[in-house]
Amino acid sequence: MTRFWPLACIILAALVPWLPGMPSFWVTLLNYTGIAAIVAIGLVVLTGIGGMTSFGQATLLGLGAYTTAIMSKYYDISPWLGLPAGLLVTAAGATLIGAVTVRLSGHYLALGTIAWSVGLYYTFANLDLVGRNDGISGIPPLEIAGYRLIDARMSFTVIWLGVLLAALATMNLLDSRAGRAIRALKGGAVAAASFGVDTARTRLLAFVYSAVLAGFAGWLYVHMQRSVNPTPFGFYQSIQYLLMAVIGGAAHIPGALLGAALVTLVNDRLQDILPKLFGARGNYESIVFGMLLIAVLQWAPDGLWPLVARFRPRRRAIQADAPRLAAQTMPERGSTLLEVVRLRRSFGGLVAVNDIDFTLKAGEILGLIGPNGAGKSTIFNLISGVDTPTGGIVRFRGGDLTGRPARHVAAQGIARTFQHVKLVATMSVIENVAIGAHLRGHASPLAGLLRLDRAEDARLYAEAARQLARVGLADAADRPATSLALGQQRIVEIARALCLDPVLLLLDEPAAGLRHNEKAELATLLRRLRDEGVTILLVEHDMEFVMGLVDRLVVMDFGTKLADGPPDVVRVDPRVIEAYLGSVE
Ligand code: ADP
Ligand code: MG
């Protein structure tokens, strides 16, 4: 997504209502499109990027709409004050609702949004204060310098300025530390958590942000329409908003504009055509939209926008001279860093990790080897907080880490890579790497939205660039992460882990898929890291690679430790030869 195109489209669109001979009916339609586009942009963040489906967006719009309607109609408060009030009420409402809903996953989340939106809808429809089903009418329009914006062309300017603001704010947010965390949620929540992202809070952030945009749209709607009733805030309307995001291309802001325009237009045409076709009034549109949705999901599951523009990650200049981020103090070389005591993990009847003990001294490279299924990756998950032990203790720098969540483990200076690479496909290599530095930045989402985070973000980016250069992938910085060969993607994961400024690095089969000379480069890098004081725990199958690199080996088979010692000793251990070399040549 580039900045230029959405801006150019919006500026061109701003001129449309002033074209000679433009019927005001079309301008009104464009106004509805703009309002819908703002809601759809929120859904891009929530659904397309955050991976959470909401069937309640229209109801959130209703919260903003009713707030400003009540204030301006009954309390004579200026609509301009209704804006912050509406946003505040929507944000507060969404925080309450979201705190419960976004913890649900998959279909339950979608069902949850239906539940509260239906509840709120009937509250609007049955509350005397808001006029029950009749709603509120005679709401004052917006006024600028005493001029009442009643004309559709005037509203157009305000509404599309709103669209522009929403699009810009959203692009800013997505390009910030908080935004990268949101983008990391879809498909990569485990990886995000392993770099300190509070995934529950990040999901809530996406939800509240999308709600605030809906509330903003509600405010625009009320003062353009000058009346409200519950109908536009119901379930059917929510489906339409979702449809806009999906048809346009759920992960793209310009897609939201495209989807909003298409659905608004088609909806308007259908209301003309369908009654003539069926000879009676009814909700036939929902049938057509249902079929449309199925067709899109069948033939263009990523929506229409990717057919218009191919995904190209945004390029961003690196400020190489940005001041460096503060670095950890490394523990004293040779001191005990990590203690694993009788660590155990069973999956039903299978004991994947069977009372394993080992320690790791600061500044050493320890190899963890064993045949496939021995329990190595499970140990990584138990140490890094991705999984919880059934028994035993993990101690790090004297503190108890047993069963602590991944983001807490990350905050202690433990970074990891994954055997099954976990990079975000819709982010560039450098953006993925920058997620590793999440805990080294502090900018709030609001700062990101307002671009107040640029100095800090430049430092995070410069750090990501430095680590990429360190692993030899500087040239790949702006490529989509998953366009690299799998072996290279593992190296990207190492760069991301290095961005955390780790005291302990857990590498799960980092050399898999690398060519001979690439393995040699990796070994050189790991030795250099050790020299700098980083401690490394390494799982690897390539024995030549392991034997030449590690200070010590722990050998496992079927969850149990077979041997522990220097490579020369372990290599001649008869139990190891029998169990390990018996199954892998
Ligand atoms: P390794 O990394 O040494 O190849 P793993 O730690 O991935 O081995 O797996 C050890 C054993 O635990 C395997 O038998 C695997 O099938 C099992 N296992 C791993 N994770 C799970 C899980 N989440 N649920 C059930 N079984 C699992
Ligand atoms: Mg494994």
160 SS3 class? helix
371 CA to centre of ligand 2 in angstroms: 9
Is residue 376 lining ligand 1, measured as CB closer than 6 Å?
A: yes
| Rounded alpha-carbon distances, angstroms, from residue 327 to 318, 321, 503 | 20, 17, 10
Q: Nearest bound ligand to CA 557? A: 1
What's the predicted TM-score (pTM) here? 0.91
| Rounded alpha-carbon distances, angstroms, from residue 291 to 247, 251, 305, 479, 518 | 12, 21, 19, 36, 51
Cα–Cα distance, 177 to 559 (Å, whole number)? 39
State the closest ligand 1 atom to the C-alpha of 381, by its place in the atom list counted from 1: 6
Q: What residues are paired with 539 via a beta bridge?
A: 368, 508
358 CA to centre of ligand 2 in angstroms: 18
Q: Which amino acid is at 482?
A: T
Is residue 381 lining ligand 1, measured as CB closer than 6 Å?
A: no
Asked if 377 contacts 362 with a C-beta cutoff of 8 angstroms, the reply is no
Dihedral pair phi/psi, residue 550, rounded to 5°: -80, 155
Whose alpha carbon is nearest atom 13 of ligand 1?
373
**From start to end of 152-228, where are the E strands?**
227-228
Q: What is the pLDDT of residues 241-255, one digit of tens each?
A: 988 988 888 788 888
Q: What is the pLDDT of residues 200-229, one digit of tens each?
A: 999 999 999 999 999 999 999 999 988 888
Nearest to 255 by CA among 584, 528, 456, 1: 1
Cα–Cα distance, 5 to 9 (Å, whole number)? 6
How does strand 136-137 pair with strand 504-508?
unpaired
Whose alpha carbon is nearest atom 25 of ligand 1?
347
Mutation pick for ligand 1 pocket among 347, 416, 584 (CB with most ligand atoms within 8 Å): 347
Residue-level pLDDT, tens digit, the chain, 585 residues: 456 776 777 677 777 888 888 888 888 899 999 999 999 999 999 988 988 888 899 999 999 999 999 999 889 888 899 999 999 999 999 999 998 888 887 788 888 888 888 888 888 888 888 778 888 888 888 888 778 887 888 888 889 999 999 999 999 999 999 999 999 987 678 999 999 999 999 999 999 999 999 999 999 999 998 888 888 888 888 888 988 988 888 788 888 999 999 999 888 888 888 777 777 666 777 788 878 878 887 887 788 888 777 777 778 888 888 888 888 888 899 999 999 999 999 999 899 999 999 999 999 999 999 989 999 999 999 999 999 999 999 999 999 999 999 999 999 999 999 999 999 988 999 999 999 999 999 999 999 999 999 999 999 999 999 999 999 999 999 999 999 999 999 999 999 999 999 999 999 999 998 899 999 999 999 999 999 899 999 999 888 899 989 999 999 999 999 989 999 988 888 888 887 666 544
Show the DSSP H helices in 44-78 as ranges: 57-74
Is residue 373 lining ligand 1, measured as CB closer than 6 Å?
A: yes
Asked if 113 contacts 102 with a C-beta cutoff of 8 angstroms, the reply is no
Cα–Cα distance, 424 to 48 (Å, whole number)? 13
> If residue 414 lies in a helix (H) or strand (E), which one and from where to where?
strand 414-416
374 CA to centre of ligand 2 in angstroms: 8
Q: Nearest bound ligand to CA 376? A: 1
Cα 180 to chain centroid distance, Å, stands at: 6
Whose alpha carbon is nearest atom 19 of ligand 1?
378
Dihedral pair phi/psi, residue 23, rounded to 5°: -70, 145
Cα–Cα distance, 136 to 509 (Å, whole number)? 64
Cα–Cα distance, 505 to 560 (Å, whole number)? 23
Cα–Cα distance, 484 to 494 (Å, whole number)? 14
Nearest to 422 by CA among 373, 368, 486: 486
Whose alpha carbon is nearest atom 5 of ligand 1?
375
